Structure 1
Amino acid sequence: MREKDVQIQLVQGLSARSAANFVKTASSFSSDVKIGKNGQFVDAKSILGVMSMAFAKGEQITLRVDGSDEEAALDSLVSLLESNE
């Protein structure tokens, strides 16, 4: 299992469009992916779970990835969250 703290740099945070893109990316990997803050985690492959957390720009979040492609999944998701788009 890999875990990494990331600061969200997306202009709108994980709003509807960016959350959908994040979930699509997470779902492309076979690893189990969780995203959370303040000790509360949700399935990163669930649009409802991700949207329910209301992740905003500048927020510090934690990604937990466990599985055969965890390294690639973590790298892709961190890159996505740290982009300025």
Structure 2
Amino acid sequence: MKNLKQIILPAVIVLMGTGAAFATNQAKKVGWNPGDPIYRIDQEEPCTLVEDFECNNIPGNLCTYQPGVHLYGMDEISGTVCNFQLFEKTN
């Protein structure tokens, strides 16, 4: 019985640590962060990558590609939906 406790307790601790590490990694991937790709959504092609554009996720004026075409960030977990409205970068 003593040997069983010496084996099970460390195994449980290692599994809990591993689970916490994965949970933390997933939490970091939720949302959009400056430096992540920026996408435009229009009727021709939804969720199209836009190069060399600076926006942020701090509420303010909407970040636009051209009049009527707003810019979005993509949630890394979904990986397919441009669902984070982006805002103009301010100094």
- TM-score normalised to the size of structure 2? 0.24
| Bigger helix fraction | 1
Please identify the structure whose Cα radius of gyration is greater: 2
Higher relative contact order (CA 8 A, sep 6+): 1
- TM-score normalised to the size of structure 1? 0.25
